[in-house]
Every structure is written in C-alpha cells, then in structure tokens.
Structure 1
Amino acid sequence: MSKLFDSFINKEKIISVTGLGYVGLPLALEFAKYFKVIGFDINSARVELMKKGIDPSKELDSNAFDGCDITFTADVEDLKKAHFHIVGVPTDIDENKVPNLNPLLGASRSVASALKKGDYVVYESTVYPGCTEEDCIPILESISGLEGGVDFKFGYSPERIVPGDKVKTLTNILKIVSGNDDEALEVISEVYGSIIKAGLHKAESIKVAEAAKVIENTQRDINISLMNELAIIFDKMGIDTKAVIEAAGTKWNFHKYQPGLVGGHCISVDPFYLMHKAKQLGIDPQVIAAGRRVNDFIPSFIAKRIVQALIEQDKNPGKAKVLVMGITFKEDVSDIRNSKVVDLVKELMDYSIHVHVIDPHGCPNELAHEYGITLIEEPVGLYDIIVLAVGHNEYIQMTTEDFQKLSKDEIYMFDIKGMKNPKEFKNYWRL
C-alpha cells in the first residue's frame, strides 16, 4: 500500500471530484463511503440540491447520500484542500459537430489553480486519443507552474456509467485505468480498486485508455447504423426487420443489434471525437462517418413514413394530430441530452403536423429550455397516429385498449422500439 493511499484511508488527505453530473456524482458518493471527498461543480444551484441529498440528474435515490463523508461546493478554492483530483465533466459537440472541450479545459483550469506538488489528477471524460497529454496537462502546468510527471502525477480512467441501468452500476463495471508512469498507475489503481468490485484493466498508456473508451461507442454506433440501413431497405421491400434479425440470430455468430434512434451523450457523440482526431492526422474516416450519417438520417426517415401513412389514410398532414410518447434519449431515464426523438418531433413539425409530446420522466422546463418543445402532462383529445418513441416501462404496460382510447379511428401505431405485438394492431409500423 502506497503512503498516499494510506493517507486517504486514514482521511488525512482528500479526494476531489470536479463535475457532479451523471458521471461525477455517483463516483464522488462511492468514494465518500470510504474516504473524505470534496465534490465540486460550477453550477451552484445543483450544488445546493446535492447538499440536501437530491440528485439533480434524477439517477440516484436520496439514500445514496447516506453515510458519505463528502462536502459539496461551488467554490474553486475548496479544491486546494484535495490531493487527488478527478475530472468528470461532460464532453459534447458543438452545432458543427466539432468536439467542445470548453467544459474539460475549464475544469482543468480550476484544478490547476489548486494543484500542489505531489498531487494526482485523473480524467474520466470521453476524449480523443492524446487529449489528456496534449490539451489538458499543458493547462495544469501553465497555471500551477508545476511540471507534469515530476511535480504531480496524472492519469486517465474513462467513465463507463450507464444511465438508467440499476444492475450494471459504477462498482459492477470493470474499470480501465492508466497513468503517466508505473508509480502513477499503481496509485491510481489502488484508489479506484478500493471501490470497483468488478476489477481493473491496467492500460499500457493513457492514449490506449483514451482510444479504448472512444471506440467502445464508435463500434456500437457503426453496428446500429448497419441495422438502420437494413431497416430502410427492408421497409421498402415490405419485410419486417425485427423478424429478419430474429431469424438471422439463430446462427451462433450473428450479433443481434437492433435498429433505432441513436441519441444520448455517448454513442451519437463519441465518434465525432475520433473523426476529429483522424482528420487532424490527414485521415478521412469513411466508415465511421457513414455510420453517423445513417443514424442521423433516421428521424427524417421515420417522419416521412408518418406523413406517408397520413396520406394513405386520405388525411391532410397539416390538419393531423400525432402523439409522441417519450422524448428522453433512452427508456426509464430523465436525460434528454441529444435525444433523437427531439429531431423526429421537429421533422414532424416541419410538415405542419400538430404534435403533442408526453413523457413521464422528462422535465418540461429542461425540454422547453434546451429545445423549445412543450411537454404536456397528459394526452389532449384524439390522435391520427401514435408514436411509441421510447421504451419507458409505463408504455410497455399499456394495453391495446389504452391506445384505442387515444385514437381518432383505428389505432395507427408507429412503434420505434418494437415494444408491442404487431398482431394486436390493424395498422402497425416499426423499424
């Protein structure tokens, strides 16, 4: 056991976590079960909620805060009390789909202002290979006046949080760790190994760890894009894609990826980080880019199929009412970041269709602020088409009779997630 780790065990020294969102808060609370922790976030309103035992992201119950030795703060000065700094801020893309490193670089400046000789800094945010050493460490060095690898150690341990998953939680997911040298790797491994039950994978370098993280979601993105492209082809042929996948899945080496809307803060974002770095190196990443194009096209494709369905019923799209059920990026979560259902709703509105959106997990204020979309509490009136967009448990439990009560005529169901039995509906469509 290293002296530094021993000082954390004895609560002589403190661990800090910067960025208390979907990644940082669960991590900070887990460490706080064993060590003294400072949780820092620049959003003072969120900090005040956490002081009351409330998770602003609505992922954790209040009992997750019980017994935790943690101080929540929005005062960057408090970071000076810590000796092991973890950065878990979001890394998204801008309107041009270029990596937005501002939160990460801002967090680096905050940590740098508190950095002391002998401190450790570990990044968890998803980035392209080289970002930690080429973009973040120079900021730490410039502001602190310290030399990375000499005066302070650093590493990278990519987050693997799965929003909404109550089984594969933080401690039950194997963690990748890396450090700038062997000593750093061992200390970082000791710290993370104290809370991660599933074990650690020690990457041979920080760049390897960064690359491993970014390709996890890039691989999924490409595989789903293939299923989406097949769904477009099979739809034109009048073939049920889900039935095809079930049939093909009877072969042992066929992987049953499903078509769908690919949103959220990971799968639909991370590939752009890898593409950005590739283009800097003079490489045109054609397969990755093609996967992104296909997946980004799906909301438009579904919207056109809905318009076609209305016309086939001799209904004017401009006078039609469509109910969209669910707008968060995945089932049973409140997270609306980069939700592709939003894109679908806007596509439908572009056809002058009257669209009502409901979601038992979504926050009306967040949706209005981020996307300018109104979230209604309950359906109003009867609808020409119902779009089951997100597989919330509440919708899975609904019966055919429940949907009939919402429909003007015979139910016309667009089941994006393929949740329902097609035989229960006269008019049914799924990807």
Structure 2
Amino acid sequence: MTTIISDTEKQSDERASGQYEAEPSGEETSLEQATEQLTREATICVVGLGYVGLPLAVGFAQSDYRVIGYDVDDVTVDRLQEGIDTTGDLSDGVIQEGDISYTTDAAAIGEADYVVIAVPTPIDDDERPDLGYVESAATTVGSKMDPGTTVILESTVYPGTTRDVLVPALEDASGLTAGEDFFVGYSPERATPGDEEHGLADVTKVVSAQNETVLEDVATLYESVVDAGVHRAPSIEVAEACKVVENAQRDLNIAFVNELSMALESMDVDGQAVLEAAGTKWNFHDYRPGLVGGHCIPVDPYFFAYRSAQEGFEPELMQTGRQVNESVPDHVAELTIKALNQCHKTLRESRVLVLGLAYKPGVGDIRSSKIGNVIDALSEYDIEIEGFDPFADDDAARDSFGIDVQDRLSFEGFDAVLLATPHAEFEQLDLEAVASQLADDPALVDVTGSIDEDAAVDAGFVYRRL
C-alpha cells in the first residue's frame, strides 16, 4: 500500500504508534516535497457519490490521483460512467474529463490506500440520527480493505461516532485492529451545492485522526487538493462536533429572524425594514427569514442534541430554534391564505402557482425542501396547487409533492403566485405581464422578500412576505 508518509511495513507500524520520523537525506528536498511526490502515487476510493462524495472524487482526480468512485446505486454509477453529472452541481464536462473508475463492485475498495466514506446521515421520524448508511458502508469497506489502509469518514455525525460506530464496524468486518492494521481519520464535509465560490478547493478543511502521525498523513492528503489549507483538530470528537455546531449556529440565527418577522408582523411593523436598519450597525449579523430546508441546517442540530442528551444535558436553545424554524411552513401557508382572503378569493376555488420547489436557489434538490410542508398545509383548504422549478426534475417533484408540475412556466388563470425559492431566473419577472395573465386581483406571496414590494403593488398584486 502506498502512504503519504511512507510505503514500508516498518514505517506503517511507526505511523500507528505516532513515532515516525523522517530519515536524514543528503538531498535538499524537504519532507513536504517528498511526501507530495508520494501523494500522487496513492489510490483513493470515495464511497458514496452524492453531492459530497462526487465533487470530492473529482477533486482528487484533478490532482492526479488514481480515483475509484464506489456507490451501491446502479443508476448513479451507470450515469456517471456515461459522463453525466448526477448532482447538477458540477457539469457533464467535468465528469467526462475526470479520470475516475466508477463502480458498484465493492472488490475495488481493496485497491485503495485511502477510503473516504461520504454517505448520507439523515434523521429518522423521531428526529434521532440514523447511522445505518455509515454502518453499512463501514461493513462493506472493512470486508474489502487491505492492511495499511486509511479510512476517513466525511459524513455528518455526532461526537464519538467515528470511534464508537465506524471503527467497531470496520474491525468486525475486516478482522483487523484500528491503529495497528489500519488507520482512521475524520474530516467533516463543507459542501455548499450551488455555490461556485465555495467549492472543495476554496474552503478550509478541518481534519482529524486517531494520532498525530496519522493526522499529518491525512492533512497532507487534503492539503494537496484544498487550496485554502487545512485545520488540524486536536481530536476526532472536536472535528465531529465542529460540523454540527457550524450549522446549529446558522439554524439559531435564522430562527431568531424568523421569530422576529412573525412578531413584527403582529405589530404591523415592516420586518425587512427593521433588519435593514439594524444592519447599519457594524457588528449586526445579516440573516434573513425563510424556509430552512436542506441536508445540513435543519438536520445537524438534532445530531448534537441527541448526543448531548445522552450525557444528561438538554440543549434547550438549540431545540427551541428548531421548533421555530419548523413552524415557518405553516406560517407561510397562513400568509398565503390571508393574501387570498384579502383578494376576496374563495379558498376551495383558488389556484396557487408555487415558483421554486428546491430547498435553495440555484439547485434542483427537492429531497429536503420545506415547500412540501407549505403545500400540505394549503391542501387542507382544498386549494389547487401547481408548481414550477427550472432546476428540479419534474417527475420527481410530482411524486414528492403530489401536485401538478409545469414543464413550461405559465401563469394563466392562477389566483396567486407563491415565490418559495428565489432562483435567479425569477428575478427579472415582468410583474405587470405576470399580473395580466393571472385572475383578477391576484396575490403574490414572496417568502424571502426578493421582489420589490412597491413594484408588486404597482403591478396590481396584494403582496405578502415574511
């Protein structure tokens, strides 16, 4: 097996104990230069080719590693083999240019020096972490990996998961011992779908490992693909916790402005104007109200709260923030109903067009979109709902939300427009032209406040926003 620090059995043993030291050399080449050369000889297998794993595999391939992309989904692998970007966040050209062996054959894992696990970690119906994908991936990897392999987990987990869940599963499946026969690290993903400025190479990578020597090995690996550099966490648990804390902080900040917007609405005070005024202070943080969807912000706080509760401490503020943000879809539905009533519409005869079904602008991912909760709340009033999203798969949206989805945008005959996800494509809507296609006295519910209220009112809309 090739390793960054060394490729001999003796040095692998020293690596496990943390006692490796570079031998003197008569050449002026630094250890960093030497390990950089060894790096490119390593084979890396990325397990899980979703929105985290696929960009990671591409990044390693672009840095001249031999890369194996493994996934259990035949359709995903077939499409990648055909050169199709399955995430919608890279491009078909990038996939076609990448020298990556995509496979569903787990035996290929045995060829890797480094195995990076990037599988989903959702929550179950009781809001508890579901680590089934991690355990399954660890069992598969453990059954195929050779001695000397380094396994790095990138999935979002609660503190202690790598040591208490991943390592035992790897050991049980392989018959090997962590720290002696194979090595373990953790590096939380910081993928931001739809954000070209914050890709793999552009964001500081947090890395951790079971001891200092493995840490340096893993850090060197990531430094070769991350231009922004790496941060060496003092323990695996610190790295695991930092990931969930990053998003829990954002969840709390968004919860604050969401609650603020509801409170100010009850006072008949313009919440957006309040935030703009408050934002003139140098240390005011600029967060805006909205639906909180996706795979990170509305999920990660539950990981932290679950682990904390196991130790007898309930993080009440974090849990309250989650409750506030989970209440926003019902509030958006209420705003829509109020707008329809203000337009003198009969609810059961009303038709609403939802613009944007994905969980955030610029992406087509609908799996964790909170607009589904809004649609469910409106459907209780027998309101007819259609949707349109320029990025989302129409068939998948129909199945997920249970509504008709337009393949070409048409406003004809609707009583209201609900702008849920402000894709850039919606920024240049001709409001007067839109209003002319709608029924008389139309409503516009602009969830994030992305459209100018005065322009909407001048075009003839009853306008509402958070």
2:264 corresponds to which of 234, 238, 242: 234
1:268-302, CA deviations, whole angstroms, 9 ceiling, x for partnerless residues?
Answer: 11111111111211222210110000000001011
2:435 corresponds to which of 404, 407, 427: 404
Secondary structure of 1:154's counterpart equals: strand
Q: Which residue of 1 aligns with 2:341?
A: 311
Q: Which residue of 1 aligns with 2:398?
A: 368
- Are residue 142 (structure 1) and residue 145 (structure 2) matched? no
Q: Which residue of 1 aligns with 2:6?
A: 3
Q: Which residue of 2 aligns with 1:428?
A: 463
Secondary structure of 2:463's counterpart equals: strand
How far the C-alpha of 1:10 sits from its partner, in A, is 4.9
1:59-114, CA deviations, whole angstroms, 9 ceiling, x for partnerless residues?
Answer: 11122135433100011111111121000111111222221111111111111111
Unaligned runs of 5+ in 1: none
How far the C-alpha of 1:380 sits from its partner, in A, is 5.9
How far the C-alpha of 1:365 sits from its partner, in A, is 2.3
Q: Which residue of 1 aligns with 2:129?
A: 99
Going from structure 1 to structure 2, the CA distance change for 1:65 and 1:310 (only over 3 Å counts) comes to: closer
Aligned partner of 2:464: which letter? Answer: W
Give, in whole Å, the separation in 1 of the partners of 2:130 and 2:263: 35
- Are residue 213 (structure 1) and residue 216 (structure 2) matched? no
Q: Which residue of 1 aligns with 2:154?
A: 124
Q: Which residue of 1 aligns with 2:44?
A: 15
Q: Which residue of 2 aligns with 1:419?
A: 450
Q: TM-score, normalised by structure 2?
A: 0.89
2:110 corresponds to which of 80, 94, 99: 80
Larger radius of gyration: 2
Q: Which residue of 1 aligns with 2:226?
A: 196
Give, in whole Å, the separation in 2 of the partners of 1:373 and 1:98: 29
Going from structure 1 to structure 2, the CA distance change for 1:372 and 1:102 (only over 3 Å counts) comes to: farther
The question of whether the paired residues in 1 share the 8 Å contact of 2:343 and 2:443 is answered with: no
1:171-190, CA deviations, whole angstroms, 9 ceiling, x for partnerless residues?
Answer: 00110000100111011011
How far the C-alpha of 1:336 sits from its partner, in A, is 1.0
Going from structure 1 to structure 2, the CA distance change for 1:336 and 1:196 (only over 3 Å counts) comes to: same
Aligned partner of 1:231: which letter? Answer: S
Going from structure 1 to structure 2, the CA distance change for 1:136 and 1:371 (only over 3 Å counts) comes to: farther
Give, in whole Å, the separation in 1 of the partners of 2:399 and 2:336: 27
Give, in whole Å, the separation in 2 of the partners of 1:202 and 1:340: 35
RMSD: 1.5
What are the within-5 Å matches in structure 2 for residues 151-166 of structure 1? 151-166=181-196
Structure 1 vs Structure 2: percent identity of aligned residues? 39
Going from structure 1 to structure 2, the CA distance change for 1:66 and 1:57 (only over 3 Å counts) comes to: closer
Aligned partner of 2:45: which letter? Answer: S
Aligned partner of 2:391: which letter? Answer: H
2:369 corresponds to which of 311, 318, 339: 339
Give, in whole Å, the separation in 2 of the partners of 1:212 and 1:368: 37
Mean Cα deviation higher: 305-314 or 365-374:
365-374
1:361-385, CA deviations, whole angstroms, 9 ceiling, x for partnerless residues?
Answer: 1112222344434322233632211
Give, in whole Å, the separation in 2 of the partners of 1:406 and 1:347: 26
Q: Which residue of 1 aligns with 2:82?
A: 52
